[in-house]
Amino acid sequence: MTPLVPLAGTAGCEAAACVLFGAIDLADNGILVLDRGGLVVCWNAWMVRHTGLSAEQVAGRALPELFGPALSARVMAAVRNCLDHSRSHILSPSLNRQPFPLTMPGEFAERGEGIDQSVTLKPVPGVAGARFCLIQITDVSQATRRERFLRRQTTELSRAVEDLQAAKDLATRANIAKSEFLTDMSHELRSPLNAIIGFSQLLEMDQAGPLSDEQHEFVTYIHKAGDHLLKMITDILDLSKIEAKRLTLEIGEIEVDRFIHDAIKGVGGLSHTRGIAIEYAAGERPDLSIRADRTRLAQILMNLLANAIKYNRANGRVTVGVAVPLPGWVRIAVADTGPGIPLERQGELFQSFNRLGAEFGAIEGAGLGLALSRKLAELMGGAIGFRSRPGEGSTFWIDMPSAASAAAVADEPGEEESGTALPALPPLTLLYIEDNPVDLRLVEALFQAIATVRLVTARNGEEGVRLAWEQRPDIILMDIFLPGFNGFEVLARLRADPQTRTTPVVAISASALPADVARGLGAGFHKWLSKPLDIVELLTVLANLVKNCRPAPAPPPAGL
């Protein structure tokens, strides 16, 4: 061994050796020394604790003798290399987990897991050519346990991430399937609604002979329920389109004053029925205009107005106001005099299908309006907010970015003729191509009562084209999904023939998807009406087509 230097406070080498051995005993590692022959000459207290063998028991004995076959062969190979060739060695815990059979003190060897070790062997020259092998053993059980735990956690975590990804993919696919299903359903539901709404409109107009007051009332219920169902279908479809990110917007400038004025007119019927007055100082801010999609913004405002009317008190009041809450923004606010929303339920307000206490009441709705409105407003870069105090009423508002310049607002031309009075039609021949017998019957019933209109009908595209050439109708109405030639093919044939090239053709389809409408108008249909048919709209379209496309020489005869 290295000659010991006398230490301060000790008397010579012997005392110094005592201090050193004391230090070796104190170490929190196993330390043992083998002589040139591989026999134990030093064995510290840690080794005693972890082997149960005292220094006296091990002195002068070789390691295989002490540990038997439980001692790793690699330890002995390293010991020999150290003593014979002066090589230092390291035995790492991952490659040799437990080179020495050691246990924690107090643990039964057969029960204990043993100690994971990191072992180093170092040759130490002695005097007169002697050589020793110094072995140090470090307990790394904690580190290996920690690493095993970490490995398990990481593996589980990455498996969980994979599972989540799979679940997300599944949900995405399911959501797309749901959207497609809703789109299909909306189309399928529109067809029967065409019969319900169409015929109830005819009955309301007394087209099939006068009804009793009670019959009239019942028919009105059927009509309203049909309208309500249609609105819900449209809302559900809109929501699913927003979720599937398939809703396209046409952002343009909108003159606020006129826009509000039109929206109020749109809910005029409802406010009249409910006896709610709508107050709006029209023309107050003629200078303000905003950027939004006109149709979608109208949808939001009409929804807020309808809510304000429906959730109002008897003889209540709705006040519409315009303000500039921040530079660059315009706020349209709708205040009611209703009961207000309880504080604890205000958080649920914008959730789909949430009707806040109206679930079992007389107020109709599916609870989609506000959820849809918020999503639409956000899509257009705006926001919806509200303030409500129970007993005092609620105020809802839309904030939209203002348009750069209020001037030069090219407002859409007014929706031509509109109103509740049925427009009069000059004498004309109509061809209606439709395979659905109920839809056909509806239009036949409508024009039975209009003496000026001669209606010719065809059940398929081929017959339609033939009749168009034979009868020379003034206007052609046409379904799109026809047996044989579809609506687009029929249109192409009509356009290819000089006799029918300029005849206005109106599509009447159960599809109301903007893409279909755009495709139809692009193909050359003059108008695209969606089922369920609004009879007033149909008559208005016909009247406008007659006026615009064929300068009517004859004075309009008496209408209906």
Question: Where on the chain is the footprint of another protein (CB under 8 A)?
Answer: 74, 77, 81, 85-96, 118, 120, 122-123, 125, 140, 143-144, 147-148, 150-151, 154-155, 158
Phi, psi of 424 (to 5 degrees): -85, 150
Contact 386, 524 (CB under 8 A): no
**Where are the alpha helices (H) located in 42-140, listed in sequence order?**
45-51, 55-58, 63-67, 73-85
**What's the min distance (Å) between Cβ of 175 and another protein?**
32
CB of 140 or CB of 370, closer to another protein? 140
Please state the closest distance from residue 93 (CB atom) to another protein, in A.
Answer: 6
Nearer to another protein, 81 or 346 (CB): 81
CB of 410 to another protein, least distance (A): 59
CB of 91 to another protein, least distance (A): 6
Compute the least distance from the CB of residue 132 to another protein, in Å. 12
Nearer to another protein, 129 or 327 (CB): 129
Phi, psi of 36 (to 5 degrees): -55, -30
Tell me the CA distances in angstroms from 106 to 44, 102, 115, 228, one per residue in order.
Answer: 18, 12, 13, 80
Phi, psi of 9 (to 5 degrees): 85, 5
284: alpha, beta or left? (left if phi > 0; alpha if psi -120 to 50): alpha
Beta-carbon contacts of 158 under 8 Å, excluding residues fewer than 6 positions away, are none
Residue whose CB is less far from another protein, 121 or 197:
121
The CB-side HSE value for 150 (13 A sphere, CA atoms) comes to 6
Cβ closest to another protein, residue 146 vs residue 389: 146
Q: How far is CA 467 from the centre of its chain?
A: 49
Alpha-carbon gap, residue 285 to 403, rounded angstroms: 14
87 or 345: whose CB is closer to another protein? Answer: 87
Give least dist CB 147 to another protein, A: 5
d(CA 105, CA 95): 25
Closer Cβ to another protein, 92 or 502, answer by number: 92
Strands 428-433 and 475-478: parallel
Alpha-carbon distance of 341 to 393, in angstroms, equals 8
Largest CA distance in the chain: 140
Q: Would you say 16 or 82 has its CB closer to another protein? A: 82
Q: How far is the CB of 19 from another protein (least distance, A)?
A: 25
Partnered with residue 117 across adjacent β-strands are 139
Closest CA to 505 of 529, 482, 483: 529
Pick from 347, 394, 393, 399: which is nearest to 373 by CA? 399
Q: How far is the CB of 125 from another protein (least distance, A)?
A: 7
Residue 100 vs 396, nearer CB to another protein: 100
- The distance of closest approach from Cβ of residue 27 to another protein in the complex, given in angstroms and rounded to an integer, is 16
Which one, 69 or 498, has the nearer CB to another protein?
A: 69
Strand order in the sheet with 277-279: 277-279, 317-323, 329-336, 393-401, 383-389
Shortest separation between residue 126's beta carbon and another protein, angstroms: 13
Residue position matching structure tokens 């049909």:
226
Give kind and range of the element (H or E) at residue 236.
helix 213-243
